[in-house]
Amino acid sequence: MYDNLQHPIFSIIKELAETTNTECYVIGGYVRDYIMKRPFKNDVDIVVVGSGIEFATLLGDRLHTKVAVYKNFGTAMLVYEGLNVEFVGARRESYRANSRKPIVEDGTLSDDQNRRDFTINAMAFSLNKADYGTLVDPFDGVQDLEQRVIRTPLDPIETFSDDPLRMMRAIRFATQLNFKITIDAIKAISDTKER
């Protein structure tokens, strides 16, 4: 039924999320690659509405497994049955014009999806009991996969100004996946190249 979430870690996260009244979602590359029917990699990103570190710590206790905490990045990681699972709290980011270091605030799933680099990486699968396995795709990432385009969730000038490394990621994804970068994004890369 939920063939997108067959690894046992997903149902374990769902149970803990229900017990702790926490929203959790698989986000990013796992979702993109599943939809594209690309080979499964051994890592997955989980966004938690709340503290990703606290949730990962609780999960590690339940699984009797070590959790690596990266406080500077607000993330935690554990390994379960060969799968690297990284947890991060949903967040909203803003940037000053002269800095690449974001101002980070707690946020919602929507806030977290807004800060993602590309629509194809902003898609999420719910790990919550009420809608387990449901795709959350506010920026039409599936359509962009079908049309084979690299597009940013927000204005590309804002996206690339916030994090110039995303310009290189756009080129990398376009070449790896044989996708086209949207004209707006190409123009934004040119306009923000000095950032």
Mean pLDDT over 106-113 rounds to 94
Say if residue 25 is in the same domain as residue 72: yes
**Which DSSP helix (H) or strand (E) runs through 33?**
helix 29-35
- The residue behind tokens 């990398």 is 172
Q: What is the pTM of this model?
A: 0.91
Domain that holds residue 154: 148-195
Q: Taking all residues of the chain, what is their mean pLDDT, rounded to a whole number?
A: 92
Based on DSSP, count helices (H) and strands (E) in the chain, helices before strands: 8, 11
Closest CA to 108 of 28, 25, 13: 25
Is residue 107 a contact partner of residue 90, using CB atoms and an 8 Å limit?
Answer: yes
58-92 pLDDT, tens digit each: 999 999 999 999 998 889 999 999 999 999 999 88
Say if residue 164 is in the same domain as residue 91: no
- The residue behind tokens 């009244």 is 21
- Please state, in angstroms and rounded to a whole number, the distance separating the CA atoms of residues 150 and 42: 24
- Please state, in angstroms and rounded to a whole number, the distance separating the CA atoms of residues 65 and 61: 7
* Res. 2: pLDDT tops 60: no
- Please state, in angstroms and rounded to a whole number, the distance separating the CA atoms of residues 47 and 29: 13
CATH (domain of 61): 3.30.460.10
Say if residue 167 is in the same domain as residue 111: no
Say if residue 68 is in the same domain as residue 125: yes
* Res. 95: pLDDT tops 70: no
